[in-house]
A and B are shown apart, each in its own frame.
Chain A
């Protein structure tokens, strides 16, 4: 038991206890949003930290949200089955697009633009099938009779949602750590340096990249489904498309791509900033949050490419981080 582990245990215990001590619904709402988006950003950073910059994650998130909601409304399939189905859909799509990409060595700019096409397709399909999905007007999962229903995964109290989001967020961090401590990490780092050299050293380049992409896509779809179940309203612009993909990239880079809590810090900063501007300036604030995001994003990439948390941790650490195994 080193200090780090104790810190984590205390922190998690405090987070679990929080809603029973502080019941303000608005604050809980913000925390739930932060946790769900942190999970989505963490999913993105699993790929992004290895230089696999994807702008297709808006697409995976949209699939997670819409497939779950459509199955519930039109077929009556409970989200308990619908969410895994939506994750499988996103995973299959990720494999269909990613396999040829990796097989044919599509990297760098090209990979970014192929994945951009993917999120463009998902957005356009959602808009085009407006008879089913409500198009750009958005979509609402049908309410199950009373306010709370375990079968429909609908709860009207914030505490339940807070605990669900907290659990999922922790799972995301565990996956992040698991990859961070696995052989995949070394393989992926080698690949991002030099694919040919990695292949020559015995790394199965395509398989390693596919594994990481699949994990990332599945988690992103789960984030989308959770967002849909929590908000009970989705629209193509809030869960899919290029803007959402860029939002993920932005938050992760601000927080820090190479540290496990970086995406979470990014989510806290972006969501609090948006709320602060919304409350401070009301409807006049429309656009200001993105203006600040954009300026911060450019400044961060130029001056602090490791993100806030990454840079702060660097200051405290004298030697480069060695993976600790205890």
Chain B
């Protein structure tokens, strides 16, 4: 009995830590989406598909052009950042004055476009980088370096965005626009330019997430569906546009998925997480950290 308990605890601890590691990447994704929502007031339903394109970018750069991982990553981040800016310029900008639902649905159309573009261009095979990172054994627990690396890089990425937002003029302008859309154009801030920069940063974060996720998961055209919905739910759970709320919610969600998966199949972890989300919406509709009015 004692031995059984020991084993159980080790697995439990391992699941808890893996949950935290997963939470890092989810928090990165949530940050990008929150940034775009907070500043432009648009939900990019196709956000995870940008990540998917980035993962394919990594795959082709590393496997076909034989670039080392560290050289391919900045290129992919740049590529997805450009994609984000293009998405804003082509789809969101013409719809800025339309009802918010139309913007959301238009990005739903972009989701279709990116998914089927990947199907047509890359095929539906599962592909991976072929990089196998070693596994860190800590006592009886195993953690893959891929996850540790992702967690670290995600944290660095988030700190970078934080510094950009607080220390530079553009970052300050972005935060100001998030607070009051109308007044900022009177203050001499070019809203169009800020929107474009924000979209590029949001895309860049998706690119960074792609570089990290491609270490852990195979890439295929529908890979976005496996973490896209989770990302939206995290953002809503944290309060759309609330950066810190999104950060906290990412870890809460990751723990539920990880621990739920420990006791049963991984799908049940997701079911639990989704159900938790719906219940939380009723208890705290404005997000985990929102003040009660």
Contacts and interface: CB of A to CB of B under 8 A. Distances in A.
B281 A298 contact: no
Interface stretch (A79-87, A116-124, A148-156): A116-124
Contact of A113 (B119, B232, B270, B282): B232
A287 B119 contact: yes
A295 B109 contact: yes
A295 B106 CA distance: 9
Interface stretch (A30-38, A61-69, A99-107, A313-321): A99-107
Contact of A117 (B104, B225, B267, B278): B278
B104 A110 contact: no
Interface stretch (B11-19, B110-118, B156-164): B110-118
B264 to A, nearest CB: 8
Contacts of B233: 113, 116-117, 120
Interface in A260-306: 286-291, 293-298, 301-302, 305
B143 interface: no
A19 B275 CA distance: 46
A291 B95 contact: no
A97 interface: yes
A297 to B, nearest CB: 3
Given A108-B100, A118-B278, A295 B105 contact: no
A114 B232 CA distance: 10
Interface stretch (A2-10, A180-188, A243-251): A243-251
A253 interface: yes
Interface residues on A, range: 35 or more
A127 interface: yes
Interface residues on B, range: 35 or more
B281 A100 contact: yes
A179 interface: no
A74 interface: no
Given A104-B285, A109-B100, A243-B225, A291 B113 contact: yes
A128 interface: yes
A125 interface: yes
A138 interface: no
A112 interface: yes
Contacts of A51: 99, 101
A47 to B, nearest CB: 12
Nearest to B46: A294
A131 B117 CA distance: 34
A225 interface: no
A113 B238 CA distance: 13
A117 B240 contact: no
B130 interface: no
Contacts of B180: none
A116 B115 CA distance: 18
Contact of B270 (A120, A243, A250, A297): A120
Interface string B269-288: 01100110110011001000
Contacts of B110: 294, 298
A299 to B, nearest CB: 8
Residue of A53, A117, A118, A253 with highest tally of chain B CB at under 10 A: A117
A117 B272 CA distance: 11
Interface in B201-256: 221, 225, 229, 232-233, 235-236, 240
Q: Chain B contact residues: over half helix, strand or loop, or mixed?
A: helix
Interface in A228-245: 241-243
B43 A286 contact: no
A10 to B, nearest CB: 35
B236 A290 contact: no
Interface in B111-129: 111-120, 124
B140 interface: no
Contacts of B267: 124-125, 127-128
B225 to A, nearest CB: 7
Contact of A120 (B99, B264, B274): B274
B102 A305 contact: yes
B112 A286 contact: no
Nearest to A48: B101
A305 B233 CA distance: 27
A127 B264 CA distance: 13
A58 B64 CA distance: 39
Contacts of B240: 109-110
Contacts of A253: 105
B108 A249 contact: yes
Given A290-B116, A294-B109, A105 B265 contact: no
Nearest to A286: B119
A246 B285 contact: no
Contacts of A109: 37, 43, 100, 104, 236, 240
A113 B106 contact: no
A117 B111 CA distance: 17
Nearest to A303: B94
A121 B272 CA distance: 9
Interchain residue pairs A-B with the least CB separation, the first 8: A294-B112, A287-B119, A297-B109, A128-B267, A294-B113, A290-B116, A291-B116, A100-B282
Given A108-B100, A113-B232, A295-B109, 5 more contacts: A53-B101, A112-B101, A291-B112, A294-B109, A302-B95
17 contacts: A108-B101, A113-B232, A114-B277, A124-B274, A125-B267, A127-B267, A287-B117, A291-B113, A291-B116, A294-B109, A294-B113, A294-B116, A298-B91, A298-B109, A298-B110, A302-B95, A302-B106
